[in-house]
């Protein structure tokens, strides 16, 4: 009889193109397990909306595994004692999983699992599932390695011999009250439907519409929650997009060619940003440039934080975005960058506190994208320029009809179009039932700009910034800055 192999599913909730499943099937009889970890769901960057999408994705994985004859064992508890109990029940001496680039909590969890595995004589094989490279020595050849990975043939669903059936635990009920009535659904069928509709219809206007908070909701792929939980692999998406690109007639001017080219670039930037967190796991709490570590920590302002979270800052476009995010779990990339920039610069709030709130609100929370982007939009990397968004201008540019702003701020219904993004200047502002701005946005932006650029002028700052570039920057050369109304590929954050 072949020996039992533990296959630990984490954020790879599929059977298609699943290198770890293929590896486990070749080693022995597979005992598939998903661990619901109470310690993880007690962290300050997770939420009920994420838990519900996860439940849907795990339910789909359970059905897909059953179709190939493998029961999924669901256990509740911390990873080490759960894995030890499974080892004791099954006699397994092999553990297979995908490599995970996650939060500091999952990083420490994995280190504890590695200690347990060595101590119990369990061979733990971690397998890559994307272009992120563990223990990378330098970025010079990273792009070629990533492109080689996504170009390889997908791993077929293997023939699997299942291990003896073990009982599952019931799903726990955590105290994660988090209404999100318009969130996306999780699971493989929803992921496949989103990919198909994007490549066949919705993606045509992607390049043009991705910056709009209204049009972008349809024109963006909406694959980010599925990629975050691994119900689709990055390789599946890259290769499906490449197949669609090959169908476009040469010289076609219908928008498809440019849109899919831009989408492929953002898929590559996704792995690029995740590599940053892989190389610096402490990024959720430590600034990439040490001079930026404590810039905000001594200036807490609870009122500003709470008004920003609630969409009550008095700056309409910011508030509309924050209210939309609460209800839907999603924002397009430019709006995510803007609300983070506004929190860090105009409101002068610590990026760690605001970053955790946004992490909770995003149903597609991917730590490897989120924390590098939080730092990038807050000016803490030392290598990226300081981008202080003007939310009034963004509102006029990205919501020119005011439809998005009025949808989420019905109290501004009576405000004339000319004053919609600056209602405090309207003579009737006192009767609106909408707060005045918590700060004067332009003056606050000016103070932030003077403070931060002043810090950057020193030789010591520039020398450390050069080290950050060497460790984390892309090696691809940008020939020219993209036009103002075209999406910057460096702002690949989250939304796709």
247 CB-contact burial (10 Å; exposed 0-12 / middle 13-18 / buried 19+): exposed
**Quick check: 316 pLDDT over 50?**
yes
Question: For 352-380, what is the mean pLDDT?
Answer: 97
Binning pLDDT at 50, 70 and 90, where does residue 441 land?
Answer: very high
Binned at pLDDT 50, 70 and 90, residue 331 comes out as very high
Residues 215 and 116 in one domain: no
One domain for residues 54 and 36: yes
Question: pLDDT above 90 covers what percent of the chain?
Answer: 89
Pair (462, 318) in one structural domain: yes
Task: Give the span between the Cα atoms of 166 and 4, in whole angstroms.
Answer: 12
| Residue 264 sits in the same domain as residue 341 | no
Residue 174: inside a domain: no
User: CB-based contacts of 426: which residues, under 8 Å, 6+ apart?
Assistant: 415, 416, 419
Question: Mean pLDDT across the stretch 412-435?
Answer: 96
pLDDT band at 478 (very low <50, low <70, confident <90, very high): very low
Partnered with residue 7 across adjacent β-strands are: 32, 96
Tell me what the mean pLDDT of segment 62-79 comes to: 98
| Residue 487 pLDDT greater than 60, yes or no | no
pLDDT of residue 148: 97
CATH assignment at residue 239:
1.25.40.80
Q: Is the pLDDT of residue 494 over 70?
A: no
pLDDT per position as a tens digit, 204-213: 999 999 999 9
Q: Final residue of a domain: which of 82, 106, 129?
A: 129
Asked if residue 321 lies in contact with residue 337, where contact means CB atoms within 8 angstroms, the answer is no
**Residue 454 forms part of a structural domain:** yes
Structure confidence at residue 416 (pLDDT): 97
Exposure string over 55-66, b if 16+ CB within 10 A, otherwise e: ebbbbbbbebbe
CATH of the domain at 97: 3.40.50.620
**Same structural domain, 298 and 442:** yes
Burial class (CB in 10 A: 0-12, 13-18, 19+), 173: exposed
Whether residue 124 contacts residue 266, with contact meaning beta carbons closer than 8 Å, is answered with no
Which range (308-317, 407-416, 481-490) has the least confidence? 481-490
Query: What's the gap between Cα 427 and its chain centre?
Result: 42
What is the token pair recorded at 470?
């060497």
* Mean pLDDT on 280-287: 95
Share of the chain above pLDDT 70, in %: 95
Residues 275 and 325 in one domain: no
Q: What is the mean pLDDT of residues 105-125?
A: 98
Domain identity same for 269 and 294: no
**What is the distance between the alpha carbons of residues 265 and 417, in angstroms, rounded to a whole number?**
36
Using one digit for the tens of pLDDT, what is the confidence trace for 371-406? 999 999 999 999 888 999 999 999 999 999 999 999
pLDDT at position 490: 41
Q: Is residue 376 part of a domain?
A: yes
Residue 141 falls within a domain, yes or no? no
Closest CA to 170 of 81, 74, 82: 74
Q: Is the pLDDT of residue 481 over 80?
A: no
Domain span at residue 267?
188-279
Could you tell me if 275 and 286 lie in one domain? no
Q: Which of 240, 261, 279 is the endpoint of a domain?
A: 279
CB 262 within 8 A of CB 489: yes
Tell me if 493 is assigned to some domain. Answer: no
Q: Are residues 417 and 272 in the same domain?
A: no
- CA–CA gap between residue 382 and residue 153 (Å, rounded): 39
Q: Mean pLDDT over residues 304-331, rounded? A: 98
Last residue of a domain, one of 243, 260, 279: 279
In this structure, the answer to whether residues 311 and 425 fall within a common structural domain is yes
Q: Give the tokens for residue 395.
A: 């509102």
Indicate whether 491 pLDDT > 50.
no
Residues 289, 266 within the same domain: no
Nearest to 322 by CA among 303, 339, 334, 305: 339
Mean pLDDT estimate for the chain: 94
User: How far, in Å, CA of 131 to CA of 133, rounded?
Assistant: 6
Q: Indicate if the pLDDT at residue 486 is higher than 80.
A: no
pLDDT in tens, 205-242: 999 999 999 999 999 999 999 999 999 999 999 999 99
Q: How many CB atoms lie within 10 A of CB 375?
A: 27
| Mean pLDDT, range 321-338, rounded to an integer | 98
Query: SS3 string of the chain?
Result: CCCEEEEEECCCCCCCCCHHHHHHHHHCEEEEEEEECCCHHHCCCCCHHHHHHHHHHHHHHHHHHHHCCCCEEEEECCHHHHHHHHHHHHCCCEEEEECCCCCHHHHHHHHHHHHHHHHHCCEEEEECCCCCCCCCCCCCCHHHHHHHHHHCCCCCCCCCCECCCCCCCCCCCCCCCCCCCCCCCCCHHHHHHHHHHHHHCHHHHHHHHCCCCCHHHHHCCCCHHHHHHCCCCHHHHHHHHHHHHHHCCCCCCCCHHHHHHHHHHHHHHHHHHHHHHHHCHHHHCCCCCHHHCCCCCCCCCHHHHHHHHHCCCCCHHHHHHHHHHHHHCCCCHHHHHHHHHHHHHHCCCCHHHHHHHHHHHCCCCCHHHHHHHHHHHHCCCCCCCCCCCCHHHHHHHHCCCCHHHHHHCHHHCCCCHHHCCCHHHCCCHHHCCCCCCCCCHHHHHHHHHHHHHHHHCCHHHHHHHHHHHHHHCCCCCCCCCCCCCCCCCCCCCCCC
Report pLDDT for 392: 98
One domain, residues 379 and 443? yes
Find where tokens 């924002």 sit. 331
Of 59, 61, 34, 70, the residue nearest 158 (C-alpha): 70
- Whether 183 is covered by a domain: the verdict is no
pLDDT at 484: 37
Q: For 128-144, write each residue's pLDDT tens digit.
A: 999 999 999 888 899 99
Number of domains in the chain: 3
**pLDDT band, very low/low/confident/very high, at 110 (cuts 50, 70, 90):** very high
Find the CATH number of the domain harbouring 395.
Answer: 1.10.579.10
């Amino acid at each position: 009889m072949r020996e039992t192999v533990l296959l630990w599913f984490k954020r790879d909730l599929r059977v298609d193109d699943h290198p770890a499943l293929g590896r486990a099937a070749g080693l022995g009889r597979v005992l598939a397990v998903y661990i619901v970890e109470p310690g993880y769901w007690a962290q300050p960057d997770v939420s009920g909306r994420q838990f519900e999408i996860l439940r849907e994705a795990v339910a789909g994985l359970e059905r897909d595994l059953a179709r190939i004859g493998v029961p999924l064992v669901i256990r509740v508890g911390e990873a080490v004692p759960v894995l030890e109990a499974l080892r004791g029940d099954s006699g397994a001496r092999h553990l297979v999983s995908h490599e995970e680039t996650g939060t500091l909590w999952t990083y420490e969890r994995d280190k504890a699992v590695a200690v347990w595995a060595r101590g119990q004589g369990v061979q733990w094989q971690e397998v890559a599932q994307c272009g992120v490279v563990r223990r990378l020595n330098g970025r010079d050849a990273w792009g070629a390695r990533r492109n080689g990975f996504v170009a390889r043939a997908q791993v077929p669903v293997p023939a699997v011999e299942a291990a003896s059936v073990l009982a599952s635990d019931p799903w726990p009920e955590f105290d994660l009250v988090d209404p999100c009535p318009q969130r996306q659904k999780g699971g493989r069928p929803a992921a496949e439907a989103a990919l198909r509709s994007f490549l066949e219809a919705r993606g045509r206007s992607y390049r043009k519409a991705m910056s709009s908070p209204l049009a972008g909701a349809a024109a963006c792929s909406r694959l980010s929650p599925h990629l975050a939980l691994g119900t689709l692999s990055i390789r599946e998406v890259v290769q499906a997009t490449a197949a669609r690109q090959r169908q476009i007639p040469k010289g076609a001017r219908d928008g498809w060619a440019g849109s899919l080219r831009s989408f492929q670039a953002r898929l590559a930037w996704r792995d690029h940003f995740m590599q940053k967190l892989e190389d610096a796991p402490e990024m959720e709490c430590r600034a990439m440039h040490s001079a930026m570590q404590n810039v905000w920590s001594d200036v807490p302002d609870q009122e500003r934080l709470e008004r920003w979270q609630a969409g009550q800052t008095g700056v309409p476009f910011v508030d509309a975005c924050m209210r939309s995010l609460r209800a839907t779990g999603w924002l397009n990339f430019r709006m995510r960058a803007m609300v983070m920039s506004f929190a860090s610069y105009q409101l002068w709030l610590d990026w760690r506190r605001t970053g955790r709130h946004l992490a909770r609100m995003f149903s597609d929370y991917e730590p490897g994208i989120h924390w590098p982007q939080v730092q990038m939009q807050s000016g803490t990397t030392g290598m990226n320029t300081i981008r202080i968004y003007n939310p009034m201008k963004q509102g006029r540019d990205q919501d020119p009809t005011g439809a998005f702003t009025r949808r989420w701020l019905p109290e501004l219904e009576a405000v004339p179009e000319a004053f919609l993004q600056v209602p405090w200047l309207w003579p009737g502002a006192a009767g609106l039932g909408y707060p005045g701005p918590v700060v004067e946005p332009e003056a606050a932006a000016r103070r932030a700009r003077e403070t931060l650029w002043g810090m950057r002028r020193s030789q010591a700052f520039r020398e450390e910034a050069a080290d950050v570039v060497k460790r984390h920057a892309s090696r691809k050369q940008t020939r020219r800055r993209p036009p103002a109304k075209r999406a910057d590929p460096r702002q690949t954050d989250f939304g796709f």
